[in-house]
Amino acid sequence: MNAGDTDRRRFLLAAAGAGLAGAGGCRRSPPPVPPAQWVGDSAERGHRLHTHLPDARGGAPSGAPSGAPAVRRAQIVVVGAGVAGLAAARALGRRGLDDLAVLDLESQPGGNSRGHRMAGLDCPLGAHYLPLPGPNALAVSEWLHEIGLLHTSHGRSVPDERHLCHSPQERLFIDGAWHDGLLPPAEPGGSTLIQYPAWAGLHYFAGRQGFHAPGDDAPGRDAVFTWPEGNAWLIRRLAQPLAGRLHAGRLVHAVRVEREGVQVDAWDIASGRPERWQARAVVVAVPLFVAARLLADPPPALVAAASRMRYAPWLVANLALREPLLDRGLGAPASWDNVRYGSPSLGYVDAGHQRLSPAAGPTVITAYWPLTTTERSKLLADTASDWGHRITADLQAAHPDLPEKVQQIDLARHGHAMSIPVPGTRGSTALAALRELRGPVQFAHADLAGYSVFEEAFEQGERAARVLLEER
């Protein structure tokens, strides 16, 4: 980020906060600040795990639900209805093991891939695209064939183009103009680095298949599936066959291996009552730092792997716009993914981009804001209105007409969103040992791959299910 950018952002923030007119300091009164509210993950629910609930080692903080638990049974319990948990449930079910219970603390399944709806429009709350699966993502490919996103032609997998990201896909705002693609145009003597938190840039760019330099437009290079609601489109297709076996609003706080199987203790948030699930086996499909807390006797590989993990906080902001943003003739046209050079955010995607209607209308844009671990407390300390201001000011730097078009801002905070891809973690012996574990407790989460993307989470769910099926 250069000094000019910093100054501009400070100025915009100050202007918004002090109720001054927009850039240039003219006397026009500023548009009212749009209402901003928190949606999505409930920080309070997750934090009850260490403030209110007894853990598997018997600690019982005050406020823990009391009374005898309602005893429930299933052959297999899956803890966590994110991509990994849902993929595990699917794999078990299609091989005949369908006496399942999938428990999740949130009210909706999907974890980091959940969706949202505002102003009558679908939008993502987290993950928003899936690249065409590579040759090693066998289980994902098989499922994409099953749901019709891929079909076979002349021995090759071919995507259904209606679900691929439409053109133009991405652009970068730099030096007052939009450029095609996400890499800054090469400048003699100039820096071409975009300064996000280093891990976020690495994760974002390395995660993109065929990410390419400006001007390199080889067909199919960047093909990604995307939908207005992001990967929640995929979640709906994973969750729908589970119907009555999905139990939302269940905060699991202890998992114990007993002589006859496993015991999973949960708190039913709606009724405030404890539940005890008895099962032959369990798939623990939650982040490893949570898994390590749930188990009475965590395997050494889990303790070692969990201690390596560092989790990045993210903020995702959905802004409902009463009309599209102005195309001011400043270069590349509005794209699905729009990034401003020097911005602390990773830009925004437009949920209306995949719309087939030629008439431009109201839309929702989704801005992605990664934070460093030392900034996590800002997600709880700063108000929705603080974040609304911050995000509006950031986007306004490339779109001066944005503030007057925003009707509502819905903000989702992901305090421990995803493991930071630290060198050495992905190939660590601890993670390898965790994937090799046998027995009635299996772990499944993108964390087991050391890299948080849909394909990895899905493959980990499949792997955990396979182990339990082999041990049947």
Ligand X SMILES: Cc1cc2nc3c(=O)[nH]c(=O)nc-3n(C[C@H](O)[C@H](O)[C@H](O)COP(=O)(O)OP(=O)(O)OC[C@H]3O[C@@H](n4cnc5c(N)ncnc54)[C@H](O)[C@@H]3O)c2cc1C
Is 104 a binding residue for ligand X by CB under 6 A? The answer is yes
Per-residue DSSP letter, 212 = -
Smaller CB separation from ligand X, 49 or 379: 49
Query: Contacts with ligand X: how many residues (CB under 6 A)?
Result: 40
Question: Which burial class, exposed, middle or buried, applies to 463 when counting CB atoms under 10 A from its CB (0-12, 13-18, 19+)?
Answer: buried
Is 79 a binding residue for ligand X by CB under 6 A? The answer is yes
Is 129 a binding residue for ligand X by CB under 6 A? The answer is yes
Smaller CB separation from ligand X, 247 or 280: 247
Structure tokens at 415: 């305090």
Smaller CB separation from ligand X, 83 or 430: 83
Interacting residues with ligand X between 183 and 222 (CB under 6 A): none
The vertex-332 CA angle with 327 and 334, nearest 5°, equals 50
Rounded to the nearest whole angstrom, what is the least distance from the CB of residue 193 to ligand X in the complex? 22
Smaller CB separation from ligand X, 195 or 209: 209
Rounded to the nearest whole angstrom, what is the least distance from the CB of residue 50 to ligand X in the complex? 11
Q: Please report where in the chains the tokens 């007057």 appear, as a residue.
A: 404
- Whole-angstrom Cα distance, residue 133 to residue 209? 9
Is 292 a binding residue for ligand X by CB under 6 A? The answer is no
Rounded to the nearest whole angstrom, what is the least distance from the CB of residue 288 to ligand X in the complex? 10
Is 251 a binding residue for ligand X by CB under 6 A? The answer is yes
List the one residue from 106, 122, 275, 394 that touches ligand X (CB under 6 A).
106
Instruction: Give the number of residues written for the chain.
Output: 472
Rounded to the nearest whole angstrom, what is the least distance from the CB of residue 29 to ligand X in the complex? 35
CA distances to 229, 338, 452 from 113, in Å: 9, 20, 11
- What percent of the residues of the chain are helix, what percent strand, and what percent coil, each to the nearest 5? 30, 25, 45
Question: Which burial class, exposed, middle or buried, applies to 113 when counting CB atoms under 10 A from its CB (0-12, 13-18, 19+)?
Answer: buried
Q: Calculate the CA dihedral of residues 105, 283, 233, 447 and round it to 10 degrees.
A: 90
- Whole-angstrom Cα distance, residue 237 to residue 344? 34
Smaller CB separation from ligand X, 181 or 415: 415
Contact window for ligand X (CB under 6 A) among 108-116, 134-142, 154-162, 325-333: 108-116
Interacting residues with ligand X between 389 and 428 (CB under 6 A): 414, 417-418
Interacting residues with ligand X between 343 and 372 (CB under 6 A): 368
- Which residues of this chain interact with ligand X, rule CB under 6 A? 49, 79-85, 103-106, 111-113, 126-130, 231, 250-252, 285-287, 290, 314, 316, 368, 414, 417-418, 445-446, 452-454, 457
